[in-house]
Amino acid sequence: MTNRIHPLLIVMTILVYIFLLGPLIIIFGASVSDTTFLAFPPQGLTLHWFENIWEISAFRRTIVTSLQVAFLGTFFALLIGIPAAYALNRHRIYLPGWLSTLFVLPILVPEIVIGFSLLRSVNVGLGAPVFVSLLIGHTLLVLPYVVRVISASLASFDFSIEEAAISLGSLPVKSFFTIVLPNIRAGVIAAFILAFITSINDVSVSLFLTGPGISTLPIQILAHVEQFFDPTVASVSVLLMGLTIIVMVIVERTLGLTIVAK
Amino acid sequence: MNKITGWILSSPATLAVSLFLIIPVAATISFTFTAPGGTFAPYVDFFASGFQRTVLWRTFEIAALTTVISLIFGLLTAFVVSRSPPWMKSVLIVLAVFPLLTGVVVRSFAWLIILGRNGVLNNSLEWLGIIERPLALLYSQTAVVLALIYIFIPLMILVLIGVLENIPDDLLQASASLGASPTKTFIQVILPLATPGLIVGAVLVFTASFTSYATPHLLGGTRQMMMGTFLHQRAMTSFDWVSASTVAAIMVVVIVTTVLVMTRIAKRLNPMAS
C-alpha cells in the first residue's frame, strides 16, 4: 500500500515538514549569532545572548514567576480535577451529562476573553493581588486538560477492584490512594506535563493578569521584542524549546508520545 | 449515598469554573447591556464604525484562509503519514508534536526573524539577485496568515492522522481492485470517511486563529488588527471597557456558534456512527 503514494505527495509532505521545523532551526541559529541584531545565518558564534538572559533582571523574575504559576496552577488543577474526573467516571449514572461539558468550558471560551473577564471581576472587582488572579487564570486554563486526560485513564480502570477493597473493609479514601491512584499514575503524569507546558507557554490568559512587577515569560518576551530586536529572545526561545524536548523525552520514556497526540 | 459522593467530589471543580469562568464572563457580557445609551448601544456603536467592522471582517477572513489552507495541506500530509511504515509514522508524529508543544510566542517570533527587513527571506532573495531592496513583508495580512498556518497546521495534521488511521487498508485496496484510480479513491472513499475529522480539525484551527493574540500582535502590528489584538488595545490602551467587553461578547458568540453548529454537522455526517 505504501509504495502507491504519489511521489508528488511525498515531496509535498517533505516540504510541509521543512516548513514545520525550519523556523525552529532558524531561531537556534539566531540565538548564537554574535551580532547585536537578529541574524540568520549567524555571523559569528557566541553564547553571550544566553548569559544576557540572566543579566536582564526582568527575564530572571518572569522565569521564576512562570515556573511558580505553572507548578501551583497545575497542582491546584490536579487537586480539583482528579476528584472531578473520578466522580465523572465512577458516579456517572448519578451525575448529569452537562457536568463533563462544564469542565471543558475553559477550552471553549476564548482565552483572551477569560483573561479580560478575570481582570474585571477578580483583579479589579474583588481587588485580588496580581499573582492570585494570575494563578486562578492558569488553574482554570489547564483544568480541562487534567480532567480529560485523567478521565481517559479512569475509563480503562476496572472499578470492581476498588469495590472489592471497600467490601473487604478498606476505607474509600484509603482504597483510592492505594488502588485507584497507582493505577492511573501514567494519566496523572501526562496530565501534569500537558498542563505545565500549556501554562508555561500561555499568552492570552496571562495578558490581562500580569501587572507591574509580576509578569510571565511569554509576556516578557513580547515586551522585549517590541523594545529591542536583539538575539536575547532567540536564546530564551531556545531554552523553552529545550524544556519541550526534555518533557517529550520524559513522556516518551514513561508513556509513549501517542498520549500527547490525542 | 453514591449520588452525594459524586456531587461532593465534583463540587470543587464545579465551583471553580462557576466562580472564575461563568460568572466573570457572564458579567463581562451583561456589562455591555447595562452601558449608558440603551440596551444594545455598544453593539450599535461597534457595527456603526467602519474600522471596527473591518477588524471583525478581517478576523473572519484571516481565520477562514488559515483554516482552508491548513485543511488542504494538513489532509494531504496526514494521508502520507498515516500510510507510512510504523517507525516512520512515529518519527513524523513526534516531529509534528514538537512544534505544537513549543509556545505560540516562540513560533510567532521565528517568523519575525524570517520575514523581517533584514530577515532570512529578504537576505536570501537579495543574495539570489531576485530583489534589490528588502521587501516589506511584515505587518501584512499574508504574514499573519502564514504564521497562523505555521502555528495551527500541526493540530490539523495530528487530528487527521487519527482519523485516517481508522480507515482500513482493505477499503482502499478494494477500491483500487475495482478499478478506481488513486485520485478517485481519495475523493470517493477517503474524503467522505474523513469528513467528520476534517470538521473537527477545521473548528479547532478556525476558533484558535479567530481568537489568537500573539501572532497578529507580532506579525500584523496595529495595521492588521484582529479581534484579539483589538480587545487588548481597547481595554489596556484606550481603557474603554465597554467597547472591550463588546468585542469579548462578539468573540464568545462567534466561537460558541461555530463549535455548536459544526459539531452537530460533524455528528450527522459521521458514516461510522450507527
DSSP sequence for A124-189: IIS---HHHHHHHHHHHHHHHHHHHHHHHHHHTS-HHHHHHHHHTT--HHHHIIIIIHHHTHHHHH
Distance spanning both ends of chain A, measured CA to CA: 25
A190 lies within 8 A of chain B by CB: no
pLDDT one-digit tens code per residue, A73-102: 999 999 999 999 999 998 887 888 888 889
A90 lies within 8 A of chain B by CB: yes
Predicted confidence (pLDDT) at residue B274 exceeds the cutoff of 50: no
Q: How far apart are alpha carbons A207 and A23 in whole angstroms?
A: 25
Q: Give me the pLDDT at residue A1, please.
A: 45
Q: How far apart are alpha carbons B143 and A36 in whole angstroms?
A: 24
pLDDT one-digit tens code per residue, B91-148: 999 999 899 989 899 999 999 989 988 888 988 898 888 888 888 899 999 999 999 9
**Size of the A and B interface in Cβ pairs below 8 Å:** 261
**Which whole number is the average pLDDT over A53-57?**
80
Under 8 Å between Cβ of A69 and A79 = no
A171 lies within 8 A of chain B by CB: no
Inter-chain contact B9–A86, Cβ cutoff 8 Å? yes
3-state SS class at B217 = helix
> In a 10 Å sphere around its CB, with 0-12 CB exposed, 13-18 middle and 19+ buried, how is residue B141 labelled?
middle
CB under 8 Å to A238, separation ≥6 — which residues?
Answer: A27, A28, A31, A50
Q: What is the dihedral of CA A52, A53, A56, A59, to 10 degrees?
A: 170
**Which whole number is the average pLDDT over A40-61?**
79
**Cell for A32?**
548564537
Q: What is the distance in angstroms between the Cα of B154 and the nearest Cα belonging to chain A?
A: 8
**Cell for B208?**
484558535
Nearest C-alpha in A relative to B236: A208
Q: Give me the pLDDT at residue A108, please.
A: 92
Candidates A116, A197, A244; nearest CB to B244: A116
Q: Give me the pLDDT at residue A19, please.
A: 96
3-state SS class at A214 = strand
Inter-chain contact A5–B83, Cβ cutoff 8 Å? yes
A214 forms beta bridges with A211
- Which letter, b or e, does each residue of A26-49 get, where b requires 16 or more Cβ atoms within 10 Å of its Cβ? bbbbbbbbebeebbbebeeeeeeb
In this structure, of A35-49, A192-206, A224-238, B23-37, the range with the lowest mean pLDDT score is A35-49
- Nearest residue to A234 (alpha-carbon basis) of B61, B116, B94: B116
Candidates A80, A88, A94; nearest CB to B16: A80
Nearest C-alpha in A relative to B162: A262
H-type alpha helices, B212-273: 214-215, 227-236, 241-269
B140 lies within 8 A of chain A by CB: no
Inter-chain contact A27–B110, Cβ cutoff 8 Å? yes
Question: What band does A2 get if pLDDT is binned at 50, 70 and 90?
Answer: very low
- Determine what percent of chain B is predicted with pLDDT higher than 90: 63
Question: What band does B271 get if pLDDT is binned at 50, 70 and 90?
Answer: low
> In a 10 Å sphere around its CB, with 0-12 CB exposed, 13-18 middle and 19+ buried, how is residue A127 labelled?
exposed
pLDDT one-digit tens code per residue, B186-209: 888 888 889 989 999 999 999 999
pTM confidence score: 0.92
B261 lies within 8 A of chain A by CB: no
Number of H helices, E strands in chain B: 14, 0
Q: Give me the pLDDT at residue B168, please.
A: 86
Q: How far apart are alpha carbons B113 and A53 in whole angstroms?
A: 19
Inter-chain contact B98–A12, Cβ cutoff 8 Å? no
Q: Which helix (H) or strand (E) holds B120?
A: helix B120-127
Predicted confidence (pLDDT) at residue B218 exceeds the cutoff of 70: yes
Work out the angle at residue A110's Cα, subtended by the Cα atoms of residues B228 and A208, and round it to the nearest 5 degrees.
60
Amino acid symbol at A60: R
Check: complex ipTM more than 0.90: yes
Candidates A21, A172, A208; nearest CB to B235: A208
Q: What is the distance in angstroms between the Cα of B20 and the nearest Cα belonging to chain A?
A: 7
Q: How far apart are alpha carbons B23 and B76 in whole angstroms?
A: 43
**Most B-contacting residue of A16, A66, A143, A219 (CB-CB within 10 A), to test interface:** A16
The B residues from 84 to 123 touching A (CB cutoff 8 Å) are: 84-85, 90, 92-99, 101-107, 109-114, 116, 118-120
B99 CB neighbours in chain A (<8 A) are: 20-21, 24
**Cell for A256?**
509513549
Inter-chain contact A87–B10, Cβ cutoff 8 Å? yes
Q: What is the distance in angstroms between the Cα of B200 and the nearest Cα belonging to chain A?
A: 13
Longest dimension (CA), chain A: 71
Question: What band does A207 get if pLDDT is binned at 50, 70 and 90?
Answer: very high
**Which whole number is the average pLDDT over A154-180?**
88
A249 lies within 8 A of chain B by CB: no
Predicted confidence (pLDDT) at residue B6 exceeds the cutoff of 60: yes
Question: What band does A62 get if pLDDT is binned at 50, 70 and 90?
Answer: very high
B22 lies within 8 A of chain A by CB: yes
Candidates A20, A121, A201; nearest CB to B104: A201
CB under 8 Å to B51, separation ≥6 — which residues?
Answer: none
A86 lies within 8 A of chain B by CB: yes
**Which whole number is the average pLDDT over A160-173?**
88
How does the average pLDDT of chain B come out, rounded?
91
Rounded to an integer, what is the distance from CA B37 to the centroid of its chain? 35
Candidates B10, B105, B169; nearest CB to A221: B105
B211 CB neighbours in chain A (<8 A) are: 110-113, 204
- Determine what percent of chain A is predicted with pLDDT higher than 90: 47
Inter-chain contact A20–B153, Cβ cutoff 8 Å? yes
Question: What band does A5 get if pLDDT is binned at 50, 70 and 90?
Answer: confident
